[in-house]
Structure 1
C-alpha cells in the first residue's frame, strides 16, 4: 500500500472511529428524530452500515454476514472493523474502478464518499442526542471541496436537501452543514 493510499484508508478509519464514538454515546435515544427528515438515530446508523456494505459487497470485499442491527452501536463496531480489515488486505485500498464520479480507488471511495457521509451523519446523530460535535475549519473546507466535485449530483434524490441560507459570518462548519441542506440550529422537537 502506498503512503497516500495508507493515509486515505486511515482517513476512513478515523472518521469511522469518531462516528462509532457518537453511536456509543446514544444511550436509549435510538428512536430520536434526526435532522434527516423521517430518520431516527437508528435509521442513520443502519443507513451508514447498509450503504457501505452494499458498495463493498459489489466489489467482493466482504465475506461476513451483515451485523445484527438490534444493537446499532455494536453493529457499527463490527462493520467498521470489517471495513478496516478489508482495506488492509494487499491491493484492496489501491484497487481502481470506474465510479459514479470517475476513475477512483476503493480507499478514496471509503474515505471521501462514505467517510464524508459519516462526518455529516455524525452531526445528525450528535444533534439528535444532545452530544457535542465540531470539525475544524480545515475539515469543513476539505468536506466542502469534496462536495463541490460532485456538482449537481450533491442534491440528487437521497443525497442532500437544497442548501439552507445562513449569514456570511456563520462559522465554517455551519456554512458546510447549510450547504448540505441542514439547518445548523436544528434541535429535536
Structure 2
C-alpha cells in the first residue's frame, strides 16, 4: 500500500533531525555538495522549504523569494518544531487531493518535492559535517520514480544539475543523488576521505 506524504515525511524527518542537531556552530561556514551554499546557507534554505511547504499543504501562498535568517538562537530545536508542523500539515485528510495554489501541480507531486528536499538536503548536510545519513527504504522507493519524473523540468529551471555519472554498481540512493546532479562520493575539501563511488 502506498504510504501517505505525511507518513513519508515523518520517516524522512526521523533521519534528518539527528543530522541537523549534530551540526556544530563552527561548521556553519563549511562547504556542501551544493556549490552555491555553505552549511549555514543550506540550513537557511532547508528551513525556508520546510516552512513554505507547510503553507502549500494548506493551499496558502508560499514565498520562496524572501529568505529570512533562520539560523539564529536555538535554531536546531526550532527546525524540529517546523519539521513536525510540516508532517502535520501533510497528514491532514484530503491534503493530497487536487492541486496547490502557487505551483498549480498535483498536491502529491508537491508533497514529493518537500520529501525530496528534506531527504537530499539532509544528505548534503550530513556529508558536509561528517554525519551519517541513510534514508528509509520506503522514502527512497517513493522518491526514485517521483524525482525521475520531475527531473527534466527541474534541470530546465536549474533546480537539478546535469546527471552525475555513476557506475553500474551504484545503489539506489547514489543513483538518486546523481540524478539531481550531485556527486555521491563528495567529501568536504581537505577531509582526506576517499570517495565512496
Kept after mapping to 2: 8 A contact 1:137/1:173: no
Q: Which residue of 2 aligns with 1:69?
A: 71
Q: Which residue of 1 aligns with 2:118?
A: 118
Instruction: Mark the CA change 1:142 to 1:151 in structure 2 (over 3 Å): closer, same or farther.
Output: same
C-alpha distance in 2 between matches for 1:73 and 1:38: 22
TM-score, with length taken from structure 1? 0.78
Kept after mapping to 2: 8 A contact 1:137/1:172: no
TM-score, with length taken from structure 2? 0.75
C-alpha distance in 1 between matches for 2:47 and 2:144: 23
Q: Which residue of 1 aligns with 2:153?
A: 153
Question: Can you list the C-alpha shifts for 1:84-136, whole angstroms capped at 9, x where unaligned?
Answer: 343455x463452257474335xx633x1101111111110111001122246
Question: Where does the alignment leave 5 or more consecutive residues of structure 2 unmatched?
Answer: 63-67, 190-197
How large is the RMSD of aligned CA atoms in angstroms?
A: 3.0
Q: Which residue of 2 aligns with 1:54?
A: 52
Question: Where does the alignment leave 5 or more consecutive residues of structure 1 unmatched?
Answer: none
Instruction: Name whichever structure is richer in strand by fraction.
Output: 1
SS state at 1:47 partner: helix
